[in-house]
């Protein structure tokens, strides 16, 4: 602690952000998860340079090959290299989950802030709509929305974003309810801040902790939902590949060639696990950060 | 009292809804502040004292309209505060500010000192960024902090330093009135006097009027030439500090003052003290007649029947107590002589 303190700022004690990173790095599990996720992201970014084969080129002579030196993880039912396809698919899967979480944040965060801060009948209306949405199983609701909008990856992720917005809203509302009662919010009102300014400058920065945790965990869940929808043929459309779509196409041939199915499943599980572990790590680090110095 | 008061409060009432009594029952009201009136001249400090639950903090918050006013008038200079619209109120906020009791929770932990102090400037005055920075630096130095502290976060400071920051924030726009809600009670005794001296210095420089809400009588005596004593939402006695402390005219004031310990243990042992029994009655159902009668050592028959009148007291101020017109008929004299000569007490 002390060595880094001196490096960070000689006379001043640690600013909160670096304190957070120090705490996060002490959590070995979360750190390992973050490193694995970083590797996956790097693979996604540099897929065109790393992939041994063209992911879209099929070769009918090499259908359902076993893993070997040419096809690291075997080939699929159209003779495409599974390893290369997994690498390219990670781009689609990660961007799609990011898109879903972004939509959930854009919808859920303002609603949660308004609901928690304003209270009264506004809160009642927003919260009851929220409860109604949350009472549906997430994936079923997403299937209905995609069914209405037509199958495509963008529609699938918009649907998942809509379905997850209530979860973000709930977390933000809960934190807002407690932050609203803080003396510094009353002090801001005494200063003469408008409600909009109080919400953006005083409430929002103090609810980001739980929000970041929830968003990280939702990333994992969105990834899983994307995989589920694509598996059902409602998300990614061929010839594009996402992890879920690959799982879906490989599954019927599992008896002949189990490796592609298992590989896609493992990649999905590992990534989701990483997001969850990072979420836990952030929660623990942020939780202690709030209390430091008080 | 000077000719033009900075703050004039008349018949201020604050009530809280305490929920209904059972299903569809009538909403019950809690009278937190009941018919409070006061005046503060420009540049003056008025001390508002009372025990916990007496409504003194509530009165302070209501004067700034940080909680709703049930009825009554509050005027800041010529401007009506109690009846101001939301927009008018926001504009008014630059003329009246507040320092809160707990400096650990009154400063947003996610903002730097510079952001905290600049906020009033950003909200109320269109000051360019460079100028804001230098104003923050000057203000920090005038509250006894290094100007370079502006880049730090609140959690890096001690309680006394934080309270200096809170005071600096309140003074950024040179307000006419600052409500100090227990400004030193969360601090170490050694820090308390520094903060009080700072407040006195700031008042001398700026001419800001203070409403000092406190339960610590020695703090109020040091800071304010005039005090008002509150009990169960009502002001029971007002007057110049010297007169109120040395010659209290209301039994509650006398009890409060006799509870202040003497630094000399010998004197402490022999001191005549009034010890009040029981707790504050519930403000949901205040006692009939005089609100203090359930705990008053000099209670008489009339106390439960009639609310006591306000009586002008020799040496300045007023007190609301039946003892001045009935029983011993003090007629505006202090309670001290009466207490010394216990033969006057007629206890049934």
Q: Does a structural domain hold residue A277?
A: yes
Give the three-state DSSP class for B210.
strand
Please answer yes or no on whether B98 and A190 come within 8 Å at the CB atom.
yes
CA angle at residue B61 from B60 to B62, to 5 degrees? 90
pLDDT bin (cut points 50, 70, 90) of residue A54 is confident
pLDDT bin (cut points 50, 70, 90) of residue A102 is very high
- Chain-centroid distance of CA A137 in Å reads 19
Residue B294 in this model has a pLDDT that exceeds 80: yes
Which of A6-15, A67-76, A195-204 has the lowest average pLDDT?
Answer: A6-15
Using beta carbons and an 8 Å cutoff, which residues of B are at the interface with A? 64, 66, 90-94, 97-98, 100, 102, 104-111, 119-120, 123-124, 151-153, 155-156, 166, 169
Residue A284 in this model has a pLDDT that exceeds 90: no
Which tokens belong to B238? Answer: 């007002």
Please answer yes or no on whether B151 and A12 come within 8 Å at the CB atom.
yes
pLDDT computed for residue A10 by the predictor: 33
CA angle at residue B252 from B249 to B254, to 5 degrees? 55
Task: DSSP letter for B309, please.
Answer: P
Q: What is the mean pLDDT of chain A?
A: 84
Residue B107 in this model has a pLDDT that exceeds 90: yes
Cβ atoms of residues B249 and B242 within 8 Å: no
* Long-range contact pairs involving A226-233 (C-beta distance under 8 Å, separation at least 24): A226/A93, A226/A96, A226/A97, A226/A100, A226/A153, A226/A156, A226/A157, A226/A160, A227/A93, A227/A268, A228/A139, A229/A139, A229/A142, A229/A143, A229/A146, A229/A156, A229/A159, A229/A160, A230/A153, A230/A156, A232/A143, A233/A151
Cβ contacts (< 8 Å) between A193 and chain B: which residues? 119, 123
Euclidean distance between CA atoms A34 and A31, whole angstroms: 5
Please answer yes or no on whether A293 and B93 come within 8 Å at the CB atom.
no
* Half-sphere exposure in the Cβ direction for A53 (13 Å, CA): 22
Please answer yes or no on whether A205 and B111 come within 8 Å at the CB atom.
yes
State the Rg of chain A over Cα. 23
**Orientation of helix A138-149 relative to helix A153-180, angle to 10°:** 130
Euclidean distance between CA atoms B298 and B296, whole angstroms: 5
Please answer yes or no on whether A187 and B124 come within 8 Å at the CB atom.
no
Q: What is the mean pLDDT of chain B?
A: 86
Residue A26 in this model has a pLDDT that exceeds 90: no
CA-based nearest residue to A43, from A233, A270, A248, A224: A270
Euclidean distance between CA atoms B94 and B170, whole angstroms: 9
Q: Which helix (H) or strand (E) holds B251?
A: helix B251-258
Question: Could you say which of A12, A187, A194 has the minimum Cβ distance to residue B100?
Answer: A187
- Average pLDDT over every residue of A166-175: 93
Interface probe with B: pick from A11, A192, A200, A294, most Cβ of B within 10 Å = A192
**pLDDT per residue over B30-65, tens digit each?**
888 988 999 999 999 999 998 888 889 999 999 999
Residue B307 in this model has a pLDDT that exceeds 70: yes
Which tokens belong to B200? Answer: 């006195």
Give domain limits for chain B: 5-224, 249-344
Q: Does a structural domain hold residue A246?
A: yes
Which tokens belong to A244? Answer: 């879920």
Residue B125 in this model has a pLDDT that exceeds 70: yes
CB neighbours of A259 closer than 8 A, spacing ≥ 6? A66, A67, A73, A74, A82
pLDDT computed for residue A291 by the predictor: 43
Q: What is the reported pTM?
A: 0.81
State the Rg of chain B over Cα. 22
Which of A54-68, A94-108, B162-176, B197-211 has the lowest average pLDDT?
Answer: A54-68
Sheet holding B27-41, edge to edge: B27-41, B5-20, B71-76, B79-80
Residue A9 in this model has a pLDDT that exceeds 60: no
Residue A126 in this model has a pLDDT that exceeds 90: yes
**Orientation of helix A243-250 relative to helix A82-118, angle to 10°:** 130
Task: DSSP letter for B261, please.
Answer: P
Which tokens belong to A168? Answer: 């973000």
Size of interface A-B (CB pairs under 8 A): 72
ipTM confidence? 0.85
**Total number of domains in chain A:** 1
Residue A294, preceding peptide bond in cis (omega within 30° of 0): no
Question: Could you say which of A15, A184, A193 has the minimum Cβ distance to residue B106?
Answer: A184
Q: Does a structural domain hold residue A67?
A: no
pLDDT computed for residue B299 by the predictor: 83
- Give the CATH number, domain containing residue A39: 1.10.3720.10
pLDDT computed for residue A107 by the predictor: 95
> Which residues lie across from B181 on neighbouring strands?
B213
- Chain-centroid distance of CA B187 in Å reads 17
Residue A7 in this model has a pLDDT that exceeds 50: no
Please answer yes or no on whether B153 and A189 come within 8 Å at the CB atom.
no
Q: Does a structural domain hold residue A10?
A: no
Q: Does a structural domain hold residue A11?
A: no
Euclidean distance between CA atoms A178 and A292, whole angstroms: 19
Euclidean distance between CA atoms B112 and B132, whole angstroms: 14
Q: Does a structural domain hold residue A184?
A: yes
Residue B274 in this model has a pLDDT that exceeds 80: no
Residue A292 in this model has a pLDDT that exceeds 50: no
Q: Does a structural domain hold residue A208?
A: yes
Task: DSSP letter for B49, please.
Answer: E
Residue B3 in this model has a pLDDT that exceeds 60: no
CATH architecture for the domain at B5-224 = 3-Layer(aba) Sandwich (3.40)
B1 vs B267: which has the higher pLDDT = B267
CB neighbours of A17 closer than 8 A, spacing ≥ 6? none
Residue ranges making up the domain that contains A110: 16-56+74-291
């Amino acid at each position: 602690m002390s060595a880094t303190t001196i490096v960070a700022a000689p006379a001043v004690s640690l600013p909160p952000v670096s304190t957070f990173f120090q705490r996060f790095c002490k959590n070995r599990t979360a750190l390992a998860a973050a490193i694995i996720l970083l590797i996956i992201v790097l693979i996604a970014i540099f897929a065109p340079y790393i992939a041994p084969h063209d992911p879209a080129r099929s070769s009918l002579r090499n259908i359902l090959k076993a893993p070997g030196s040419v096809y690291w993880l075997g080939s699929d039912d159209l003779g495409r290299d599974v390893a290369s396809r997994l690498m390219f698919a990670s781009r689609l899967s990660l961007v799609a989950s990011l898109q879903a979480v972004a939509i959930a944040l854009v919808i859920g965060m303002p609603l949660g802030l308004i609901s928690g801060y304003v209270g009264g009948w506004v809160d009642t209306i927003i919260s009851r709509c929220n409860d109604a949405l949350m009472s549906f199983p997430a994936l079923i609701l997403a299937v209905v929305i995609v069914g209405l909008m037509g199958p495509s990856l963008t529609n699938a992720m918009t649907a998942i974003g809509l379905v997850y917005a209530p979860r973000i809203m709930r977390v933000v509302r809960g934190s807002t309810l407690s932050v609203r009662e803080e003396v510094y919010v009353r002090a801001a009102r005494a200063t003469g801040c408008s409600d909009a300014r109080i919400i953006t400058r005083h409430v929002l920065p103090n609810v980001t902790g739980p929000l970041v945790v929830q968003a990280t965990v939702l990333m994992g869940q969105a990834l899983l939902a994307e995989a589920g929808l694509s598996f059902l043929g409602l998300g990614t459309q061929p010839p594009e590949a996402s992890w879920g779509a690959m799982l879906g196409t490989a599954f019927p041939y599992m008896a002949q060639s189990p490796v592609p199915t298992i590989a896609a499943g493992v990649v999905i599980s590992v990534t989701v696990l990483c997001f969850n572990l990072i979420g836990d790590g952030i929660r623990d680090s942020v939780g202690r950060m709030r209390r430091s110095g008080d | 009292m000077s000719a033009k008061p900075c703050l004039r409060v008349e018949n201020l009432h604050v009530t809280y809804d305490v929920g209904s009594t059972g299903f569809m029952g009538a909403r019950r009201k809690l009278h937190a502040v009941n018919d409070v009136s006061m005046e503060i001249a420009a540049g003056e400090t008025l001390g508002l004292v009372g025990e916990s639950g007496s409504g003194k903090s509530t009165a302070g918050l209501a004067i700034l309209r940080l909680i709703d006013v049930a009825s009554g008038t509050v005027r800041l200079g010529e401007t009506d505060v109690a009846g101001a619209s939301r927009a008018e109120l926001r504009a008014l906020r630059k003329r009246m500010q507040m320092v809160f009791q707990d400096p650990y929770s009154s400063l947003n932990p996610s903002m730097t000192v510079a952001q905290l102090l600049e906020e009033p400037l950003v909200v109320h005055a269109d000051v360019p960024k460079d100028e804001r920075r230098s104003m923050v630096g000057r203000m920090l130095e005038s509250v006894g902090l290094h100007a370079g502290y502006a880049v730090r976060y609140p959690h890096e400071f001690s309680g006394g330093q934080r309270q200096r920051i809170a005071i600096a924030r309140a003074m950024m726009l040179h307000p006419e009135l600052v409500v100090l809600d227990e400004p030193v009670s969360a601090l170490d005794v050694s820090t308390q006097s520094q903060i009080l001296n700072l407040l006195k210095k700031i008042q001398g420089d700026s001419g800001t009027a203070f409403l000092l809400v406190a339960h610590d009588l020695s703090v109020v005596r040091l800071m304010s030439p005039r005090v008002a004593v509150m009990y169960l939402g009502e002001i029971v006695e007002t007057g110049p500090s010297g007169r109120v402390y040395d010659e209290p005219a209301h039994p509650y004031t006398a009890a409060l003052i006799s509870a202040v310990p003497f630094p000399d243990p010998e004197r402490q042992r022999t001191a005549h003290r009034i010890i009040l029994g029981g707790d504050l009655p519930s403000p949901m159902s205040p006692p009939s007649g005089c609100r203090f009668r359930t705990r008053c050592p000099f209670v008489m028959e009339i106390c439960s029947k009639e609310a006591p009148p306000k009586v002008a007291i020799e040496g300045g101020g007023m007190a609301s107590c039946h003892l001045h017109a009935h029983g011993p008929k003090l007629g505006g004299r202090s309670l001290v002589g009466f207490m010394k000569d216990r033969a006057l007490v007629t206890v049934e």
